[in-house]
Amino acid sequence: MGVELKKRNGWDTSDSLEELSELAVTAGAEVVGDGIQKMVAPCASTFIGKGKADEFAEHCRQADVDTVIFDDELSPAQSRNLEKVFNCKILDRTSLILDIFAQRARTREGKLQIELAQLQHLLPRLTGFWGHLSRQKGGIGMRGGEGETQLETDRRRVQDRIARISEELEVVRRQRGTQRSARQRNHWALASIVGYTNAGKSTLLNTLTGADVLAENKLFATLDPTTRRLRLPTNQNVLLTDTVGFIRKLPHGLVEAFKATLEEVVQADLLLHVVDVSHPQADEQVQSVNAVLKEIGAEGKPTLMVFNKIDQLNGNRSVLTRFLERHPHGVAISAEKGQGLPALLAELGSQLRPLREFMELSVPHHQTSVIARLHEVGQVIERSYEGKAARFKARIPPHFHDEFAPFVVRHLQTA
């Protein structure tokens, strides 16, 4: 069920409802129908108007519906009142997304984060509501053994649990921080793949690095971040991270809960923003992703726009042309068919280049380990082997400058 508010801009209510259907199917539901009410402002007690609610409830009874999902976040009171009217389970977009996340979480951190978000979402809905839910077993919105046993407990115990999870998360996060600083000691550039859910982020990571992250035509296939090393044709190493996708109206609590996972994005030197250009709402999806980036504090980071799924455009390339006009450094690819990847790698190299300095070095021939090291960490552009020493023009990441300082002849202009 969606509501079309007068002042609402951006996506159509019907587009949003279509996405809600996809979310419901992803969560394991079968969608039998939908409904929209046009109104000036949502109703405080039942969200949609009481008359409309009765009318929809009658439809639902006839279709033997067991769950009604609202496309907007409902207040605890609205949920309770709607349950009385519909006499079945009422979910909102937030609890549906939380449910999908609960199904998908694999790592300890992921599970803790989602449980935290679920408990925080349920806390204000405790009174009465939980007693009702506990009578129903299974189904969407009921995932997670922990969640179910919690249904019987009181607010106090939920709060204790929230505190415990927060502490545990703190420990897991510290470990992540240690891992990250270990990686940074390698001084490789960090790039994060971001984008709307189902845009093809995991497929891109797999194609570029031979990783085997699950990629499928479902929303939120990926929850936990995966990092792989990518060696560019320029010899530069990049650590590429694939992480959870974004969606419009992403529950704020979930963004909060996933802040640690999204740290990868905040820390990155460069973002690869993957866009499914074959999607009819590609424009709105880009805006939603930018809104979430802003929320997590990753606004204004150097970003490479990656326009994916060009194999699905079927000759209708005007959308792509428009995107490329707006983003002249953007690249068009098909992650699945492997189209456009050389251009993507080249653009990656050139966007990361400012991170390295161009210099001329002279290394005595017998210092073979220095020469080997130079080829390992640097990008050698030119070499000549005259006299007693080999001469190189190379790009070297700043943190290796000390190591090569004894051999530097002069610094060159960066290209």
DSSP string, 263-321: HHHHH-SEEEEEEETTSTTHHHHHHHHHHHHHHTT-TT--EEEEEE-GGGSTT--HHHH
Locate tokens 């349920």: which residue? 122
**H or E element: which one contains 414?**
none
CB of 91 to Mg ion, least distance (A): 24
Burial call 32-69: b when 16+ CB within 10 Å, e when fewer:
eebebbeeeebbeebbbeeebbeebbeebeeeebebbb
Beta-ladder partners of 382:
393
Instruction: Kindly tell me which of 132 and 279 has the beta carbon lying closer to ligand GTP.
Output: 279
Q: Among residues 52, 143, 201, 248, which is the contact residue for ligand GTP, using CB under 6 A? A: 201
Q: Among residues 52, 309, 356, 395, which is the contact residue for ligand GTP, using CB under 6 A? A: 309
Structure tokens at 316: 């209708």
Instruction: Kindly tell me which of 71 and 242 has the beta carbon lying closer to Mg ion.
Output: 242
CB of 347 to ligand GTP, least distance (A): 17
Structure tokens at 398: 């700043």
Q: Among residues 134, 267, 312, 367, which is the contact residue for ligand GTP, using CB under 6 A? A: 312
Stretch that binds ligand GTP, among 61-69, 124-132, 133-141, 303-311 (CB under 6 A): 303-311
Which residues ranging from 115 to 154 are in contact with ligand GTP (CB under 6 A)? Answer: none
Q: Among residues 113, 202, 209, 281, which is the contact residue for ligand GTP, using CB under 6 A? A: 202
Which residues ranging from 329 to 388 are in contact with ligand GTP (CB under 6 A)? Answer: 334-336
Distance between CA atoms of residues 11 and 17, nearest Å: 10
Q: Among residues 67, 150, 202, 241, which is the contact residue for Mg ion, using CB under 5 A? A: 202
Q: How far apart are the first and last CA of the chain?
A: 56
x-or-dash string of contact with Mg ion, 217-256, rule CB under 5 A = ----xx----------------------------------
198 binds ligand GTP (CB under 6 A): yes
Instruction: Kindly tell me which of 110 and 200 has the beta carbon lying closer to ligand GTP.
Output: 200
Are the C-beta atoms of residues 233 and 381 closer than 8 Å to each other?
Answer: no
Residue 260: name the closest of 108, 62, 147 by CA.
108
x-or-dash string of contact with ligand GTP, 222-261, rule CB under 6 A = x----------------------x----------------
Q: Which does 269 bind (CB under 5 to 8 A by kind): ligand GTP, Mg ion, none?
A: none
Q: Which does 198 bind (CB under 5 to 8 A by kind): ligand GTP, Mg ion, none?
A: ligand GTP
Residue 334: name the closest of 305, 309, 306, 304 by CA.
309
Backbone angles phi and psi of 246, in degrees to 5: -105, 165
CB of 105 to Mg ion, least distance (A): 14
Distance between CA atoms of residues 231 and 198, nearest Å: 25
Distance between CA atoms of residues 6 and 41, nearest Å: 8
Instruction: Kindly tell me which of 199 and 390 has the beta carbon lying closer to ligand GTP.
Output: 199
Contacts of 227 (CB under 8 A, 6+ apart): 183, 239, 240, 241, 242, 264
Instruction: Kindly tell me which of 192 and 198 has the beta carbon lying closer to ligand GTP.
Output: 198
Are the C-beta atoms of residues 275 and 199 closer than 8 Å to each other?
Answer: yes
CB of 376 to ligand GTP, least distance (A): 32
Distance between CA atoms of residues 380 and 404, nearest Å: 13
262 binds ligand GTP (CB under 6 A): no
Q: Which residues bind ligand GTP (CB under 6 A)?
A: 195, 197-203, 215-217, 219-222, 245, 308-309, 311-312, 334-336
Q: Which residues bind Mg ion (CB under 5 A)?
A: 201-202, 221-222
